[in-house]
Amino acid sequence: MTDANIEAVRDFFQEFQSRLVEKLESLDGGGKFSNERLDMPNKGYSRPRVLGGGSLFEKAAVHFTYSVGTALPAAATERNPELAGRAFRATALSVIVHPWNPHLPTTHMNLRMFLVDAQPEVWYFGGGFDLTPHLPYDEDIRTWHENARRACLSDTHYRQLKKQCDEYFYLPHRNETRGIGGLFFDDYVGDNFYDSFKFVRQVGHHFLLAYETIAKRRRDLEWTEEEEDWMLIRRGRYAEFNLAIDRGTKYGLQSGRRVESVLASLPPRAKWVYQFVPQPGSPSAKLAQYLRPGIDWLSIVDNSVDSECE
Amino acid sequence: MTDANIEAVRDFFQEFQSRLVEKLESLDGGGKFSNERLDMPNKGYSRPRVLGGGSLFEKAAVHFTYSVGTALPAAATERNPELAGRAFRATALSVIVHPWNPHLPTTHMNLRMFLVDAQPEVWYFGGGFDLTPHLPYDEDIRTWHENARRACLSDTHYRQLKKQCDEYFYLPHRNETRGIGGLFFDDYVGDNFYDSFKFVRQVGHHFLLAYETIAKRRRDLEWTEEEEDWMLIRRGRYAEFNLAIDRGTKYGLQSGRRVESVLASLPPRAKWVYQFVPQPGSPSAKLAQYLRPGIDWLSIVDNSVDSECE
């Protein structure tokens, strides 16, 4: 029965990958994603799809994988260490978008399901999405978190997953979050498979809806060289997170997965400027204020839609 | 007696920092280093000096630190774990140079001394230098390793420290070295303090001599946009090493040192291009061949000085 379940999730991830690719290509209005199928051991396979140098997107990657393994890596079972070493199947879909235009945020989404051979069988979902604006628009942050809220089962559920997102996408050495957050969940088992899978589909749906809304709202805005530089500095922080902190990247690098797929999330360009300080009162300075965990976006940005940035 | 010793090393590091700054400013022919003094606990202090946006150097950092600590961090005593937690003094000098011109290599040097409060007192040196060419010139690699050899006490000593350098500056996920190596030593205690300190001064001397020779040889060469892009991709690998692998960076980030100093080694600009492959037969392709541990540079590049690159 769970075999059929993970196959249903795998098939959904593949279909949703195609839908994401179509939508992103349509938003881009020129760029096309590469299309590969790579065979992995035991009839597993992956479909890494990358768009580089598009019209709107400097880089976008939408990766699907289906793995069949004989020994679950310890890193995949933080909360259930007794499962390490068991046979497993896993399927995952991940998205990263790095636009050219600093008015558009960088974004990331990940959805995954694990099925572990045990008595009884163990399955769980993981994933979430987060947004990394460069020039922050309160209206966009509201759109983002409203969609995050709608993907969840309740206010409480949203608040829990939002908190987990703030905690995960955090750079302790900078004392700042990677962006303005979203949702993050791991070892997720809802009331039953049907409801959990539905929730995961909702996360995917609201991710796409929110990012499409924001991208269309901002894509025609002009930008300055200073704003682009600021985006490149923020992308440096993104690279710091992905290389020095992210558990997923660490696991990928250590487990010997194809390095170009693991590191497809890295920004196409990045900058590091010694002791850079944003101009006081600028949108960059406003962003620096926003990179804190625990901000209640749905309350705070309610009555101040874009007063500073537009 | 060892108090006087570490103070002698500290004073040498400070003087050598000034000399490095002078030489690099003179090579640059325009850029000037910042000059700060930061007080640290227990009368320790640091002098981070950074040149950004020079004529020849896009970024150069020459950092001096003198630390007085009440508890030696475990990360500083890998080979002597019984020393962790003891009072200590440490002094260090580090250099990183990222030129604009891809014909010039990126380079790094680090020298450090630890003095640990124990009965009897324990002291040791660490450090080394390594070179990261973008467009490789055999003549430059020869200059580099000849100077590395001359800094060492013997052929055997050079081979040991060169091997350690190849092993340390290695990206396992890429299966490549960071560059063409040089010297790396840790927990170094020679026959006595006098000889060890002399060796460390020789390392500094030959680092400067070698890099100055190479920089003067290449600084007037023109470069293409493709060559600059290749340098930026190589710098992406540099950032991967520093953020995901380097023990020094990890230790710095985890121990709460000033993040802008710890990360001053990061490239000012970097690129990641999905599945980039250098043109066969190009200098970039030649470099890819050179990024392997264990190449005996002093034998190999003997009779083939720059035949491919010039």
pTM of the predicted structure, to 2 decimals: 0.93
The residue of chain A with its CA nearest to that of B259 is A173
Tokens of B18: 């000034």
Averaged pLDDT in 10-residue chunks for chain A of 310 residues: 87 98 98 95 94 97 94 77 90 97 98 93 95 97 98 97 98 96 94 96 98 98 97 98 92 80 95 95 94 93 42
Q: Would you call B266 and A236 a contact, using CB atoms and an 8 Å cutoff?
A: yes
Q: Would you call A271 and B269 a contact, using CB atoms and an 8 Å cutoff?
A: yes
- What is the reported pLDDT for A305? 38
- Chain B residues in contact with A249 (beta carbon < 8 A): 244
The residue of chain A with its CA nearest to that of B266 is A272
Q: Between vectors from CA B44 to CA B129 and to CA A237, what angle results, nearest 5°?
A: 60
By three-state DSSP, how is residue A72 classified?
coil
By three-state DSSP, how is residue B306 classified?
coil
Interface of B with A (CB under 8 A): 34, 50, 52, 59, 61, 172-174, 232, 236, 239-240, 243-244, 249-250, 253-254, 256, 259-260, 262-264, 266-275
Phi, psi (5° rounding) for residue B100?
Answer: -70, -35
Strands of B160-298 (E only): list them.
170-171, 176-177, 181-188, 269-271
Q: Would you call A268 and B271 a contact, using CB atoms and an 8 Å cutoff?
A: yes
Residue pair B46/B154 in contact (Cβ under 8 Å)? The answer is no
Residues A169, A132: Cα–Cα separation, whole Å: 10
- What is the reported pLDDT for B308? 36
Residues B173, B294: Cα–Cα separation, whole Å: 18
Q: Would you call B269 and A232 a contact, using CB atoms and an 8 Å cutoff?
A: yes
What is the tens place of the pLDDT at every residue in B276-303?
Answer: 999 999 999 999 999 999 999 998 765 4
Nearest to B273 among A61, A254, A268 (CB): A268
ipTM of the complex: 0.91
Interface with chain B: mutation pick from A228, A272, A275, highest number of B CBs within 10 Å: A272
Residues A82, A122: Cα–Cα separation, whole Å: 11
- What is the reported pLDDT for B82? 87
Q: Which residue has the tokens 């990024």?
A: B291
- What is the reported pLDDT for A133? 98
Q: Which residue has the tokens 């000059």?
A: B35
Residues B306, B294: Cα–Cα separation, whole Å: 20
Helices vs strands, H then E, count in chain B: 9, 10
- Chain A residues in contact with B274 (beta carbon < 8 A): 34, 50, 52, 59, 61, 260, 264
- What is the reported pLDDT for B2? 67
Phi, psi (5° rounding) for residue B245?
Answer: -125, -40
What is the tens place of the pLDDT at every residue in B109-119?
Answer: 999 999 999 98
Residues A73, A247: Cα–Cα separation, whole Å: 13
Q: Would you call A269 and B243 a contact, using CB atoms and an 8 Å cutoff?
A: no
Residue pair B62/B49 in contact (Cβ under 8 Å)? The answer is yes
Q: Which residue has the tokens 């694990």?
A: A114
Residue pair A17/A49 in contact (Cβ under 8 Å)? The answer is yes
Least Cα separation, residue B166 to chain A (angstroms):
19
Residue pair B118/B72 in contact (Cβ under 8 Å)? The answer is no
Nearest to A274 among B253, B264, B271 (CB): B264
- What is the reported pLDDT for A229? 97
Q: What is the DSSP letter of A128?
A: E
- What is the reported pLDDT for A151? 98
By three-state DSSP, how is residue B106 classified?
strand
What is the tens place of the pLDDT at every residue in B130-166?
Answer: 999 999 999 999 999 999 999 999 999 999 999 999 9
Cα A241 versus chain centre, distance: 13
* Phi-psi region at A249: left, alpha or beta (left = phi > 0; alpha = psi -120 to 50): alpha
Residues B174, B238: Cα–Cα separation, whole Å: 12
Nearest to B266 among A52, A262, A272 (CB): A272
Q: Which residue has the tokens 């009897």?
A: B120
Q: Extract the residue ranges of chain B whose pLDDT is less than 50.
A: 303-310
> Among residues B47, B84, B99, B72, which one has the least CA distance to residue B261?
B47
